[in-house]
């Protein structure tokens, strides 16, 4: 049975309206970025730096890990994951989204990632997941992968590389 007891918090979802990849995370930056609650908005250039300066190291890690993963999947025309983070991450036309503190999954994207086993169990019936190991699971019907929380201690560079390979094989 699903536990829908996620505490409501003011939030904003970030990214492009048309997403190929959507990341779900259990919390939201504790700043007023969207006046109307759960609305999706693209990040403007250099806004990640501003969000990090207002919220601290925790959100810097989340943005950095998301950028590292995207860079591993397709470096495109970027020189580094840092370049991708600054020039594309969650901006208009990026085809990326970050959904914060949702109580249910949204309609499918090409790839969905849920950060953290505990949060995944609040969103998804465990019977719908195929656990590959202690850290990663794939949904049996959706294009969705559960990962460790986006923090360097839980999702190391080695695990980011594994996740990238898992996505490449799945997609």
In sequence order, the 6+-apart residues with CB closer than 8 A to the CB of 85 are 48, 63, 64, 66, 67
Structure tokens at 113: 């990632």
3 state SS of 145: strand
**What is the three-state SS of 23-46?**
EEECCCCCCCCCCCCCCEECCCCC
Domain spans of the chain? Answer: 13-170
Query: For the whole prediction, is pTM greater than 0.85?
Result: yes
Mean pLDDT for 64-91 is: 95
Q: Are strands 137-139 and 96-100 parallel, antiparallel or unpaired?
A: unpaired
Report the chain's mean pLDDT, rounded to a whole number.
Answer: 89
Mean pLDDT for 70-82 is: 93
Model confidence pLDDT, tens digit, residues 14-41: 999 999 999 999 998 887 665 555 578 8
Mean pLDDT for 47-71 is: 93
Q: Which of 113, 171, 108, 105 is nearest to 144 (CA)?
A: 113
Report the percent of the chain where pLDDT is more than 90. 70
Report the percent of the chain where pLDDT is more than 70. 89
DSSP E strand stretches across 42-140: 96-100, 111-115, 129-131, 137-139
Model confidence pLDDT, tens digit, residues 63-74: 999 999 999 999
């Amino acid at each position: 049975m699903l536990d829908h007891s996620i505490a409501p918090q003011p939030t904003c979802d970030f990214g492009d309206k048309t997403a190929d990849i959507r990341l779900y995370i259990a919390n939201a930056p504790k700043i007023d970025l969207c006046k109307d609650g759960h609305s999706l908005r693209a990040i403007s250039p250099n806004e990640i730096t501003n969000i990090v300066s207002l919220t601290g190291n925790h959100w810097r890690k989340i943005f950095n890990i998301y950028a590292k993963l995207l860079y591993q999947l397709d470096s495109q025309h970027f020189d580094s994951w840092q370049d991708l983070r600054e020039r594309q991450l969650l901006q208009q036309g990026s085809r990326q989204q970050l959904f914060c503190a949702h109580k249910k999954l949204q309609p499918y994207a090409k790839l969905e990632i849920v950060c953290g086993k505990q949060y995944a169990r609040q969103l998804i019936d465990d019977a719908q997941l195929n656990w590959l190991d202690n850290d990663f699971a794939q949904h049996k019907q959706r294009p969705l992968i559960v990962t460790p929380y986006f923090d360097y201690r839980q999702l190391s560079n080695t695990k980011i590389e594994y996740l990238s390979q898992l996505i490449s094989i799945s997609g």
